[in-house]
Structure 1
Amino acid sequence: MATANQKWNLGIDVGGTFTDIVLSGPDGDLHTTKTPSTKDQSDGVLAGIGKIAGHAGLTLESLLPEVSIIVHGTTVATNALLEYRGVKVGLITTEGFRDELEFRRSYKESTFNPRLQAPHPICPRRLRIGVPERVDSNGGVLTPLNEDAVREAVRFLVAEGVEAIAVCYLFSFIRPDHERRTREIIEEESPGLYISLSHEVLPEIREYERVSTTVVNAYVGPAIKSYVSHLDDKLRSKGFAGELFIMQSNGGMLTAAETTRHAVGTLLSGPAGGVTAAAMIGELSGYKNLMTVDMGGTSYDISIITNLTPGMTTESWLARYRIALPMLDIHTIGAGGGSIAWIDDGGALRVGPESAGSLPGPACYGRGGTRPTTTDVNLILGYLNPDFFLGGEMKLDVEAAKEAVRLHVADPLGIGVIEAAQAISEIVNNNMADASHLVTTRRGLDPRDFALVAVGGAGALHAGRQAELLGMASVLVPAAGPVFCALGDTVANLKVSESRTYFANLATLDLADINARFDDLEAVARERLAGQNVTRDFELKRSLDLRYEGEVHELTVPLRTRTRRVTALNVEATVRAFHEQHEQLFAHKDVAHPVELLTLRVEVVGVRDTVRPRGASFGGENADEAIKNVRPIWFAGGQADTRVYDGDKLRPGHFITGPAAIENWGTTIIIYPQQEALIDAYGNCIIENGQAGGAQ
């Protein structure tokens, strides 16, 4: 039973199927739960908090006043963009450049497909208006801003019913005066309208990337602003007096107020928490290189962590729009538990990307779903216990799952239900393995050099097979795997990423100017972190975007210096690191070729005190006391009688040989034949793969 004077932290992650909640106390104890996601995400959040309050012996109303911090990963912005349900957006830009959003730098996802449709216009051409103004590449004003034209454009857009206006002028990242004045005019003409300025959203060179990111920010911004305000009001009405933070795509969190201004930064809000938690688990368990896979109800998210540092990218695409902000490098495919199996026009079996979601859900849920999904297949093959889904909170219908597979797959292909289920399972596993190669072998990395961290409700069902397909030696299934993203929310730090284009040849670099620019970036970042009371310290990280002279794309390389001042020695070391990184990615380097600097980047991290899981001492290896029963499970080699363990009864030191299954609340871990597992000091399940293709 919790006491009234305890201070708690809540991590909340809303997924497509379930809302995950982690409650951590000052003593290191964790409470976890799941509740179905709702149309209004705040309803599911409040329901989940009430449910987890009961686990701690409290009520919703008695818990919330004792919660100091809530960190929330949300899919509001992601869903708005993916489903094209954002607000009506207008764009004001430099005269003659209103079609930049459609030109897309001539990028086409399928180069040789003449029937490929253009992306859905989140800002139609008639709502994109060019106004007379022009700044050159050195910041000189070629054409003053025509304020009358701006005012006329704003009045037209307001009359058209826009709820947000994006502003993107040429070279505004060098001289933002015109954009700032445009904001003032918009506020005069229509107070309260959501405004997205490119020099605030992405102050970098490359016009398409900047306008795309700025327009997306305007498209999803009002939805985030409305949701965060609505949720905050609900929480306050129930007694919450702490601070609400929103998880960001860069792996950090921001205040609710700052999030509403930079809404585009929440597009990977949910899975970002999982990557953050994986780095922590890897550190605790002694693994520095990790491949994190998160398999939930609708998607399969993959990310790489090298030396406990998550990979980052500025080249993300979402819903066919470019998002050029620094974001965790997370590759996603439609391969979740709800992914639907179907037969294409050529008679081939396919799985996903369409998902059954939470409603109607897989056929076995009994909520009206009739099409076969990955969850139905896992139930048919024996991986899932129909009476122990979510710890017994949901009962699964085996016959409904079999009927869905029979009707939609087995009969059309002329095969049996089990054979069809095995085929679906293998396709899902191979789809996930192929996606894993995209973030490893295609980037000069060997998956055998990484440990696989399997999280999400369905991740541990498939992880052992993934390890076999990828030749990986070790699999980590965290104790909090079913709610891993929410766990990451509880341990995330505040983080702000700022950047500025700064073009220079490194041979003639002005170090005094570089240091002054970095100081300015740091000041902006620290200002964005102001107004919160949860950090104990700040960390500063700086990096340079470098490329060989003549190249089109650049690499982001950390700038390593023990002092605040950047010196010639620091730059030389960074250039050497650039050459090595270039060779790893492209199998080529040329140390004699001139190197150019394109962008300066600063990351300011507000470090906060977080509660880490507590380790326990090892006991005996014999885990027989945790055996629940034996049930038949279908593996690649046929059906095998498989020991099933009660995860609640497993203790650090327990050793299990495959084939076996471990049933935990929220997930089932499958230990495949020729694999063995150990429960570590933190309750994580470490699986060693006997069929690994290389050493960890």
Structure 2
Amino acid sequence: MTTSTSQWSLGIDVGGTFTDIVLSGRDGSLHSTKTPSTPDQSDGVLNGIAKVAGQIGATAESLLADCGIIVHGTTVATNALLEYRGAKVGLITTEGFRDELEFRRSYKESTFNPRLKAPHAICPRRLRIGVPERVTHDGTVLIPLDEDAVRRAVTFLLAEGCEAITVCFLFSFVAPDHERRVGEIIREMAPDLYVSLSCDVLPEIREYERVSTTVVNSYVGPAIQSYVSHLDDKLRGRGFTGELFIMQSNGGMLTASETGRKAVGTLLSGPAGGVTAAGWVGQLAGYRDLMVVDMGGTSYDVSVIQDLNPATTTESWLARYRIALPMLDIHTVGAGGGSIAWIDDGGALRVGPESAGSLPGPACYGRGGTRPTVTDANLVLGLLNPDFFLGGEMKLDAAAAERALTEHIAEPLGMPVLDAAQAVSEIVNSNMANASHLVTTRRGLDPRDFALVAAGGAGALHAGRQAELLGISSVIVPGAGPVFCALGDTVANLKVSGSRTYLARLADLDLGDLNRRFEEIETEARGRLAGQSVTDDFDLRRSLDLRYEGEVHEVVVPLRTRTRRITALNLEATIRSFHDLHETLFAHKDPDQPVELLTIRVDVLGLREPPRMKGMEFGDEDPASALKERRRIVYADGAHETNVYDGARLHAGHFITGPAAIESWGTTIIVCPGQEALIDAYGNCIIENGRAGAA
């Protein structure tokens, strides 16, 4: 493993409100800060670097000169797609198939709603052109590529002002020559144009998934490429001589140049850092199976990690477009601190998904918001200290929160305002618990088998109650929870995922050919990591997409071997794993049914040396020295006088019995009645739930 001689590495995560910075030293020290995000994200990044440099008595220039690696989680691609502000995209495809993008394999979010509008067209029909060419399923050329038609199509798209062109032909995942030739023609005619070939982006079967993913890559690619280049120039101008990496949706990082070519891989760049951090923190704390939740102002993200391996999926949707690349399986619901409580036409109390955002924000912010939110309810219940929000940087208006709840909830429902606040809290907790079931029980997993990792500004407020509702025994509130995604960037490994469709019955499989295909994918993946120098220690992980013959959905099954070569015994063990996984997911298995292979997958990981965290020695258990006050707080089972502790004065070994609140900058940890909390050697708060298993 290559070890950098530089003193520092930086993890940077840009969110909608704040840019989070984590500075990691070779001596195991960690420094973190937040700074407001800016319209040009690079400005907020440089502001944050200057701010964290001040914590170690340095300037931004001197810090960057001694920084070997920067890993950046960015929302540039996500924002471009969600806000439909991407590039003007043209599509060249097989003649007669230009409407695949709208047919969507008949997928419709609301099947019985005839008024549901089609998704916003990120590639309008007039910019989708079919050209004569045709390859059969076995790679035979049925119709040669008409290069004159390609040149006419490119000429038209350039005249229309297209900033990117996508090329997606039928069966190019079997025979990519036609696509590659079109790519050459485009580069001859417009050398600086952004080009996406489906055989490079997603060489897999299923036409809609392939064209959708590749078009999205073209749509967000120019923005990512421009931003990364712009940021790199600014960093170099301030003295940075190290390597810049971008966090990917698969939970790994990739070089800036490679990211620009495959920009669709950054669509979950930010949340992926949080999942990566959870695996690292869980390992330090002694937990290998984790449910990771991140509650911010607008949303609640939840995912699972089994045996320190994050769950991934190839069935993601974003802005109503299918992204079929391997991505961390993160489920998001509209349940955050800013989620608005409201009464529907039937007189039922609802919470979210609409959010008050940061402006005007919850009523208690005093920025013009008048509708009640989860934060307003938490303030009325006593969970939040109005004088210590963001460590005292912001004061909350408790009277405004109470007025909003009274006017919009309590009076219309004829209940006391405290009951209204409690109802809002329980509904949002129930919504979050339901989201947790989507990634556990609906996939054959028991939430009680996991420890809950609570991140985000509001995550620790609700984590104790979530543990009660889900029957979870342990909650981990990371010490770096408010900057958790940036922390994940500092510990992420390099990662390249590759895949190929390989349709075959396992009973007829040619192992020699299978091994050759795996080697080709691995060689290509390693090539994408060739431009970096942070590590020479690589790990290879392979898997097969398997299904029973006749099924239309696959199960991704890890392929475990002691050698690089796959043998018949390896294959038999993989088939047994498939039957067991199929039963876990679908409550059914049939060992006598023929098994079919659809896709082979490879992950190449470049392993970095993680930060050498210094564990603190345990002191006395009594936290009395950190006691700030006693406050009346309303929990699910009623009101309790509660000890409130200053998180900055707690140290390793302090033991706290619930009910209790721990106030730190950026978050408040609630320890519910019947729960106990311990500050561990790494500054994490470990909550044990005495009501585990009762859900």
Distance of 2:22 and 2:154 partners within structure 1: 45
1:38 corresponding residue in structure 2: 38
Superposed counterparts of 1:263-282, under 5 Å: 263-282=263-282
- Identical pairs, percent: 77
1:633 corresponding residue in structure 2: 633
2:82 corresponding residue in structure 1: 82
Distance of 2:387 and 2:397 partners within structure 1: 9
Distance of 2:617 and 2:10 partners within structure 1: 27
Superposed counterparts of 1:488-527, under 5 Å: 488-527=488-527
1:486 corresponding residue in structure 2: 486
Question: Is 2:91 the partner of 1:91?
Answer: yes
Q: Contact (CA 8 Å) 1:654, 1:678: kept in 2 or not?
A: yes
Q: Contact (CA 8 Å) 1:626, 1:650: kept in 2 or not?
A: yes
2:648 corresponding residue in structure 1: 648
Q: Contact (CA 8 Å) 1:18, 1:358: kept in 2 or not?
A: no
- Higher mean C-alpha deviation, range 686-695 or range 666-675: 686-695
Superposed counterparts of 1:342-421, under 5 Å: 342-421=342-421
1:561 corresponding residue in structure 2: 561
- CA deviation map 1:631-655 (0-9, x unaligned): 2212123332211111111122111
1:334 corresponding residue in structure 2: 334
Where 1:535 maps in the other structure, the secondary structure is: coil
Superposed counterparts of 1:196-235, under 5 Å: 196-235=196-235
Distance of 1:593 and 1:180 partners within structure 2: 39
- Higher mean C-alpha deviation, range 47-56 or range 560-569: 47-56
1:25 corresponding residue in structure 2: 25
Where 2:604 maps in the other structure, the secondary structure is: strand
The one-letter code sitting in structure 2 at the alignment partner of 1:120 is H
1:181 corresponding residue in structure 2: 181
Question: Is 2:295 the partner of 1:323?
Answer: no
Q: Contact (CA 8 Å) 2:477, 2:684: kept in 1 or not?
A: yes
Instruction: Count residues with an aligned counterpart.
Output: 691
Q: Contact (CA 8 Å) 2:444, 2:585: kept in 1 or not?
A: yes
The one-letter code sitting in structure 2 at the alignment partner of 1:300 is Y
The one-letter code sitting in structure 1 at the alignment partner of 2:173 is F
Structure 2, unmatched stretches of 5+, are none
- CA deviation map 1:300-352 (0-9, x unaligned): 11111111111111111111111110111111111122222233333332222
Residue 577 and residue 46 in structure 1: after superposition, are their counterparts in 2 closer, same or farther (change >3 A)? same
Q: CA deviation at 1:6?
A: 6.2
Where 2:155 maps in the other structure, the secondary structure is: helix
Distance of 1:648 and 1:530 partners within structure 2: 44
Residue 626 and residue 304 in structure 1: after superposition, are their counterparts in 2 closer, same or farther (change >3 A)? same
Question: Is 2:69 the partner of 1:69?
Answer: yes
Where 1:566 maps in the other structure, the secondary structure is: coil
Distance of 2:368 and 2:42 partners within structure 1: 25
1:130 corresponding residue in structure 2: 130
2:422 corresponding residue in structure 1: 422
Q: CA deviation at 1:367?
A: 3.5
Distance of 1:482 and 1:514 partners within structure 2: 45
- Higher mean C-alpha deviation, range 23-32 or range 363-372: 363-372
Distance of 2:62 and 2:360 partners within structure 1: 34
Q: CA deviation at 1:410?
A: 3.4
Residue 226 and residue 416 in structure 1: after superposition, are their counterparts in 2 closer, same or farther (change >3 A)? farther
- CA deviation map 1:64-108 (0-9, x unaligned): 222111111111111111222212211111001111111111111
Distance of 1:6 and 1:222 partners within structure 2: 32
Question: Is 2:668 the partner of 1:668?
Answer: yes
Distance of 1:421 and 1:694 partners within structure 2: 25
Q: Contact (CA 8 Å) 1:37, 1:358: kept in 2 or not?
A: no
The one-letter code sitting in structure 2 at the alignment partner of 1:343 is I
TM-score, with length taken from structure 2: 0.97
The one-letter code sitting in structure 2 at the alignment partner of 1:559 is L
Q: Contact (CA 8 Å) 1:473, 1:694: kept in 2 or not?
A: no
Distance of 2:460 and 2:569 partners within structure 1: 47
Q: CA deviation at 1:444?
A: 0.8
Distance of 2:142 and 2:620 partners within structure 1: 78
2:172 corresponding residue in structure 1: 172
Distance of 1:573 and 1:195 partners within structure 2: 41
Q: CA deviation at 1:232?
A: 1.6
TM-score, with length taken from structure 1: 0.97
Superposed counterparts of 1:149-160, under 5 Å: 149-160=149-160
Q: CA deviation at 1:209?
A: 0.5
The one-letter code sitting in structure 2 at the alignment partner of 1:555 is V
Where 2:537 maps in the other structure, the secondary structure is: strand
Superposed counterparts of 1:525-540, under 5 Å: 525-540=525-540
The one-letter code sitting in structure 2 at the alignment partner of 1:665 is W
Distance of 2:350 and 2:80 partners within structure 1: 27
2:462 corresponding residue in structure 1: 462
- CA deviation map 1:407-464 (0-9, x unaligned): 4333443444333222221111111001111111111111111111101111000000
- Higher mean C-alpha deviation, range 353-362 or range 216-225: 353-362
2:193 corresponding residue in structure 1: 193
Q: Contact (CA 8 Å) 2:171, 2:205: kept in 1 or not?
A: yes
- Higher mean C-alpha deviation, range 468-477 or range 339-348: 339-348
Q: Contact (CA 8 Å) 2:26, 2:612: kept in 1 or not?
A: no
Where 1:204 maps in the other structure, the secondary structure is: coil
The one-letter code sitting in structure 2 at the alignment partner of 1:441 is T
Where 1:279 maps in the other structure, the secondary structure is: helix
Superposed counterparts of 1:254-265, under 5 Å: 254-265=254-265
Q: Contact (CA 8 Å) 2:27, 2:612: kept in 1 or not?
A: no
- CA deviation map 1:140-176 (0-9, x unaligned): 1111111111111111112222211111000111111
Q: Contact (CA 8 Å) 1:16, 1:298: kept in 2 or not?
A: no
Q: CA deviation at 1:372?
A: 2.6
Where 1:11 maps in the other structure, the secondary structure is: strand
Where 1:43 maps in the other structure, the secondary structure is: helix
Q: CA deviation at 1:296?
A: 1.4
The one-letter code sitting in structure 2 at the alignment partner of 1:489 is D
Q: CA deviation at 1:185?
A: 1.7
1:253 corresponding residue in structure 2: 253
Distance of 1:366 and 1:29 partners within structure 2: 38
Where 1:608 maps in the other structure, the secondary structure is: coil
Structure 1, unmatched stretches of 5+, are none
Distance of 2:146 and 2:270 partners within structure 1: 42
1:296 corresponding residue in structure 2: 296
- Higher mean C-alpha deviation, range 551-560 or range 341-350: 341-350
Residue 583 and residue 15 in structure 1: after superposition, are their counterparts in 2 closer, same or farther (change >3 A)? same
Question: Is 2:335 the partner of 1:307?
Answer: no
Where 2:557 maps in the other structure, the secondary structure is: strand
Q: Contact (CA 8 Å) 1:247, 1:266: kept in 2 or not?
A: yes
**Root mean square deviation of aligned Cα:** 1.6
2:53 corresponding residue in structure 1: 53
Q: CA deviation at 1:694?
A: 6.0
- Higher mean C-alpha deviation, range 179-188 or range 368-377: 368-377
Q: Contact (CA 8 Å) 2:468, 2:694: kept in 1 or not?
A: no
Q: CA deviation at 1:602?
A: 0.6
Q: CA deviation at 1:480?
A: 0.9
Q: CA deviation at 1:393?
A: 2.3
Where 1:170 maps in the other structure, the secondary structure is: coil
Q: Contact (CA 8 Å) 1:17, 1:297: kept in 2 or not?
A: no
Q: After TM superposition, which residue ranges in structure 1, 4 or more long, deviate above 6 angstroms? A: none
Q: CA deviation at 1:572?
A: 0.6
The one-letter code sitting in structure 2 at the alignment partner of 1:523 is T
Distance of 1:243 and 1:659 partners within structure 2: 47
Where 1:482 maps in the other structure, the secondary structure is: helix
Superposed counterparts of 1:561-640, under 5 Å: 561-640=561-640
Residue 363 and residue 226 in structure 1: after superposition, are their counterparts in 2 closer, same or farther (change >3 A)? farther
Q: CA deviation at 1:581?
A: 0.3
Distance of 1:399 and 1:224 partners within structure 2: 44
Q: Contact (CA 8 Å) 1:49, 1:60: kept in 2 or not?
A: yes
Distance of 2:408 and 2:181 partners within structure 1: 60
The one-letter code sitting in structure 2 at the alignment partner of 1:474 is S
Where 1:69 maps in the other structure, the secondary structure is: strand
Q: CA deviation at 1:360?
A: 3.3
Distance of 1:243 and 1:9 partners within structure 2: 10
